[in-house]
Amino acid sequence: MTATHPTSGVAVDPEPIDPRLAARAKAITERELKAYSVRTEGSQRATQRARTVMPLGVPSSFQAYDPHPIVVKHAAGSRMVDVDGNEYIDYDMGFGALFAGHMHPAVRAAVQAQLEDGTLYVTPCEMNAEVAELLRDRYRLPMWRFTNSGTEATMDAIRLARGFTGRNRIVKVEGGYHGHHDEVMISMKPPLELAGPADAPLSVPGTEGIAPDVVAGTVVIPYNDLAALERVLASGDIACFIVEPVMENIGICLPDDGYLQGVRTLTTQYGALLIFDEVKTGITAGMGGATGHFGVEPDLVTLAKSIGGGFPVGAFGGKQEVMDLITAGRVLHLGTYNGNPLVMAATKATLAEACAAGPTAEAIARNERLVAACQKVIDAAGLPAHTVTFGAKGCVTWKRDRVRNYRDYKTGYLDLAFAQWIHGINRGVMLPPGLDEQWLVSVMHEESDAMRYADVFAEFAAELTT
Ligand SMILES: Cc1ncc(COP(=O)(O)O)c(C=O)c1O
């Protein structure tokens, strides 16, 4: 079985591997796929039905995978139960959105209380400023606005950057995902045969339907490459560089020492704004996000996912002089549901209670123990893999060397990753297949929940190598 990325449809070719490992991984995959079909018959039926009324049978193409996705009926804390009654420990946690866990008691109480007072005013509520203050204190950026998703947050931040600089073109990283608006749906996971040279990648549309001038307006560079950034910025017409401080859509890809500081220096030097897209890192990285962790101040930060405690919220925050463009009416920022009181109640409870400093530190420490346990398994079995960690997230990367950018990621052992995934999901370890995602230890994962991943991984390693 070859997994494909849902939005690009590109098959990922793994590096050649030890033939014995490859043969064992194939045998495990075949056996586990059969077991999966038997234990997820209800999910299969539900998906078949859904495919008659929804493309791929899912509400977002990211949710589709072969042979069919798990269809879920119930979630609470760190667990989910599917329509067949199978229980999973959820390590995906809504692509990292559920740092608070599924329906944290504080979030539930806040949302229930708010239901008594209504769900949508389209005029401000006091919680708007309260939540903005909480974000200001964490991210040390003075001004904030709310959106309904990460996509809207990055779209609005880019528009602000264009308004502020009076420039049009933007720069993003190859392999980076920033949501599903046109100007960033470029080179998310481009097929290498279209992607051009590694140090000067081409801009490859990630979907049909994007106008050529939009594609031309987004310049793509490799992550962790300051020389490539400087070459592009030197053109003088770049409005912004939008980048995840830590890339979290190709496993976890960390910045080289000094990379983010270099990015800050260069963007300032060439008059482009720096947007840190923290939709995925967010508050899972610690109280001040990745921004606070690395101590590099961007001009704008985009957030979503983890700040909302499972509710659809996004936000962008920025320096006073940049956000003043909205105040002056030069850049419009709009949205019927922006800052609606239901979602604000969930966000406030998440930031102020569920994911306050204490629970955040505990989840990060628990994740460190999980990562260490997995690395021990890798070392003992001599697997061609390594662990990577950031904040409360971690991953097993099926590749011996560190991944520094998208091209490195493309050389990972996808077949081994798939075998681990299908083995794990049949034992109650819930993650999407492939090499893209990472696990999240939420504030509701107890020690034994977190460590279950390492136990199942150890079983898999033993089967793969003995
Ligand atoms: C880094 C990053 N930015 C933006 C987005 C878009 O967020 P949303 O799916 O809420 O629109 C995502 C979604 O995965 C993301 O990973």
What is the pLDDT at residue 434?
A: 84
87 DSSP 8-state letter = E
Type of residue at 302: T
Q: What is the pLDDT of residues 115-139, one digit of tens each?
A: 999 999 999 999 999 999 999 999 9
Helix (H) or strand (E) holding 463: helix 447-465
Residue with the two structure tokens 């014995």 = 20
Find out whether the beta carbon of 148 lies less than 6 Å from any atom of ligand 1.
Answer: no
List own/partner pairs for 126-129 with CB under 8 A and 24 or more apart.
Answer: 127/339, 127/341, 127/344, 127/345, 127/348, 128/339, 128/344
What is the pLDDT at residue 16?
A: 77
Residues 6+ apart with CB under 8 A from 330: 163
Residue with the two structure tokens 């009324």 = 53
Please state, in angstroms and rounded to a whole number, the distance separating the CA atoms of residues 211 and 200. Answer: 22
What is the pLDDT at residue 313?
A: 98
Q: What is the pLDDT of residues 244-259, one digit of tens each?
A: 999 999 999 999 999 9
Nearest one of 144, 179, 182, 180 to 160, comparing CA atoms: 144
**194 token code pair:** 């279209």
What is the pLDDT at residue 405?
A: 98
Going from the C-alpha of 5 to that of each of 8, 130, 201, the distances in angstroms are 6, 39, 19
Give the residue with greater pLDDT, 12 vs 145: 145
Helix (H, G, I), strand (E, B) or coil at 225: coil
Q: How many Cβ atoms sit within 10 Å of the Cβ of residue 76?
A: 14
What is the pLDDT at residue 8?
A: 37
What is the pLDDT at residue 432?
A: 85
Find out whether the beta carbon of 96 lies less than 6 Å from any atom of ligand 1.
Answer: no
Residue of 156, 277, 299, 408 with catalytic role? 277
Residue with the two structure tokens 């075998």 = 419
Find out whether the beta carbon of 95 lies less than 6 Å from any atom of ligand 1.
Answer: yes
What is the pLDDT at residue 50?
A: 98
What is the pLDDT at residue 260?
A: 98
Q: From its phi and psi, is residue 257 left (phi > 0), alpha (psi between -120 and 50) or beta? A: beta
- Sheet of strand 143-147, all strands in order from the earlier edge strand to the far edge: 143-147, 314-318, 300-303, 273-277, 238-243, 169-173, 218-221
How buried is 34 (Cβ within 10 angstroms: 0-12 exposed, 13-18 middle, 19+ buried)? exposed
Distance 172 CA to ligand 1 centre (A): 14
Residues 6+ apart with CB under 8 A from 123: none
Q: What is the pLDDT of residues 203-214, one digit of tens each?
A: 999 999 999 999
Which ligand 1 atom minimizes the distance to the CA of 152?
A: 11
- Compute the radius of gyration of the chain from its Cα atoms: 22
Q: What is the pLDDT of residues 2-15, one digit of tens each?
A: 333 333 333 445 56
Torsional sign, CA 395, 398, 402, 405: negative
What is the pLDDT at residue 9?
A: 37
Which ligand 1 atom minimizes the distance to the CA of 60?
A: 9
Q: What is the pLDDT of residues 288-335, one digit of tens each?
A: 999 999 999 999 999 999 999 999 999 999 999 999 999 999 999 999
Q: What are the φ and ψ backbone dihedral angles of 100, each rounded to 5 degrees? A: -75, -10
**Contact present, 293 and 285 (Cβ < 8 Å):** yes
Cα separation of the two ends of the chain: 23
**205 token code pair:** 């549309």
177 is a catalytic site residue: yes
Tell me what the mean pLDDT of segment 370-399 comes to. 97
Please state, in angstroms and rounded to a whole number, the distance separating the CA atoms of residues 391 and 285. Answer: 4
Give me the percent of the chain exceeding a pLDDT of 90: 95
Q: What is the pLDDT of residues 174-207, one digit of tens each?
A: 999 999 999 999 999 999 999 999 999 999 999 9
Find out whether the beta carbon of 284 lies less than 6 Å from any atom of ligand 1.
Answer: no
Assessment of whether the complete model's pTM goes beyond 0.85: yes
Residue with the two structure tokens 């297949």 = 433
Residue of 305, 348, 399, 410 with catalytic role? 305
Tell me what the mean pLDDT of segment 364-385 comes to. 98
Which ligand 1 atom minimizes the distance to the CA of 149?
A: 10
What is the pLDDT at residue 13?
A: 53
Nearest one of 264, 270, 273 to 239, comparing CA atoms: 273
Give me the percent of the chain exceeding a pLDDT of 70: 97
